[in-house]
């Protein structure tokens, strides 16, 4: 953050007190910090506090021009390298998403070309309201970057997601994002994620425990690294976090087969992280099956092997598979690598603590076709995704050398 010009917008929520610590930490790390506050924010923290911490004037009124030779909000918009809104209330998120400019922060953010980071803080029910979700997606499409709130005890008494992330974490996320090299610029990356659902009748289906978190983090990091990303997703409760990610939603293994084979030829890197059903009911029913005495037998048939099909037709693509195992993971992973003509495979033991479906962490082994093996110890799925993509790029450079 050394010598970065950071504009900090503080909106009116109880979490405004954390913005004081954020200002202090940014200043300590060498950033030049200027603070803007909404009128509501001044009800929680005095502008004088931010002035003392930043050693710069604090801006609260669009019409208070401190230098008659400059238009303050335009001058600040041009000055900033980084624009942070923390805390970001539902109100200010909604105003920015809809182009409303009625205070110092909203007028300045519409005029800036700086990188914008938004750290929401609000009641959990507000954070999950469809209007707020829609507005955040709009801002994501604009290219703004969200720093997700933490979960815990909220000032309103509720327990859930909505607590402003800690100042040190906000800074770490911004630094990581700012310093992330765009090593995949010009590359097209195809990723599959999540489970599939194989229908039995109108109310029942077969599926698995995959949540799609690993595949979505791969897509997110690939986009941050400059790639044009296509994400083929089974049914999950996740949102894409970048406008440069094209999402294709599918339900069944057949749907995923059609989408992956259609997109395959135009991509440079293909990562199949989805947990696709190997079998589906041979017979499906249009009406709900009624409970009967005794056993129920459901005859299953094989679904198409997507990864094997892609391995048979690949030309220039670097093809990566995933092997989620519960026993002898490396043995089964190596067999899959060879049998399906892959360039690399990511192997993990889903029975291992910290590596299972639904976890926010993972522990994997990356194995390429030259039998180079790289252990990636327990880390967040985003960190694991970054390391996987780094290894893929390293292998691609070796092939081209």
Q: What are residue 7's DSSP bridge partners?
A: 34, 83
> Tokens in use for 294?
């005794």
Q: Please work out, in degrees rounded to the nearest 5, the angle formed at the alpha carbon of residue 54 by the alpha carbons of 21 and 120.
A: 45
Element (H, E) at 16: helix 16-28
Residues that are catalytic: 156
The three-class DSSP label of residue 70 is: coil
The three-class DSSP label of residue 273 is: coil
> Tokens in use for 173?
């996320």
DSSP 295-334: -----EEEPP-HHHHHHHH-SS-EEEEEEEESSSHHHHHH
Q: What are residue 174's DSSP bridge partners?
A: none
Q: Where are the beta strands (DSSP E) in 89-203?
A: 115-120, 145-146, 150-153, 159-163, 188-193, 198-201
Phi-psi region of 52 (alpha: psi -120 to 50; beta: other; left: phi over 0): alpha
What's the first-to-final CA gap in the chain, in angstroms?
Answer: 36
Query: Given the structure tokens 């979700």, which residue do they identify?
Result: 133
Q: Please work out, in degrees rounded to the nearest 5, the angle formed at the alpha carbon of residue 79 by the alpha carbons of 77 and 84.
A: 60
CA dist., res. 232 & res. 194, Å (int): 9
**Are β-strands 279-281 and 300-302 bridged in parallel, bridged antiparallel, or unpaired?**
antiparallel
**Are β-strands 269-272 and 344-349 bridged in parallel, bridged antiparallel, or unpaired?**
unpaired
């Amino acid at each position: 953050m050394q010598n970065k010009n950071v504009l900090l917008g503080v909106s009116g929520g109880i979490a405004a007190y954390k913005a004081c610590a954020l200002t202090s930490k940014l200043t300590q790390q060498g950033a030049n910090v200027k603070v803007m506050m909404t009128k509501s924010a001044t009800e929680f923290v005095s502008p004088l506090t931010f002035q003392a911490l930043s050693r710069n004037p604090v801006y609260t009124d669009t019409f208070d021009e401190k230098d008659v030779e400059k238009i303050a909000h335009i001058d600040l918009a041009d000055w900033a390298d980084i624009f942070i809104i923390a805390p970001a209330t539902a109100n200010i998120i909604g105003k920015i998403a809809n182009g409303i400019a009625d205070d110092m922060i909203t007028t300045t953010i519409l005029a800036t070309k700086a990188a914008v980071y938004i750290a929401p803080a609000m009641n959990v029910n507000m954070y999950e309201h469809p209007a707020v979700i829609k507005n955040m997606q709009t801002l994501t499409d604009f290219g703004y970057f969200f720093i997700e709130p933490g979960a815990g005890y909220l000032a309103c008494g509720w327990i859930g997601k909505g607590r402003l992330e800690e100042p040190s974490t906000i800074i770490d996320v911004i630094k990581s994002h700012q310093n992330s090299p765009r090593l995949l610029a010009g590359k097209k990356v195809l990723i599959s994620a999540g489970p599939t659902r194989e229908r039995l009748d109108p109310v029942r289906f077969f599926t698995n425990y995959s949540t799609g978190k690993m595949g979505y983090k791969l897509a997110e990091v690939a986009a941050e690294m400059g790639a044009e990303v296509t994400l083929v997703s089974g049914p999950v409760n996740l949102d894409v976090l970048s406008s440069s990610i094209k999402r294709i939603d599918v339900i069944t293994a057949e749907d995923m087969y059609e989408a992956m084979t259609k997109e395959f030829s135009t991509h440079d890197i293909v990562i199949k992280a989805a947990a696709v059903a190997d079998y589906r009911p041979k017979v499906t029913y249009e009406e709900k099956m009624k409970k009967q005495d005794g056993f129920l037998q459901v005859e299953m048939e094989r679904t198409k092997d997507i990864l094997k099909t892609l391995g048979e037709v690949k030309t220039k693509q670097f093809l990566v598979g995933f092997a989620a195992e519960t026993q002898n993971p490396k043995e089964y992973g190596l067999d899959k690598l060879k049998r399906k003509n892959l360039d690399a495979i990511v192997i993990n033991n889903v029975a291992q603590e910290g590596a299972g479906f639904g976890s926010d962490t993972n522990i994997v082994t990356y194995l390429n076709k030259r039998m180079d093996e790289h252990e990636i110890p327990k880390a967040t799925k985003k960190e694991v995704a970054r390391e996987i993509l780094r290894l893929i790029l390293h292998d691609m450079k070796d092939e081209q050398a």
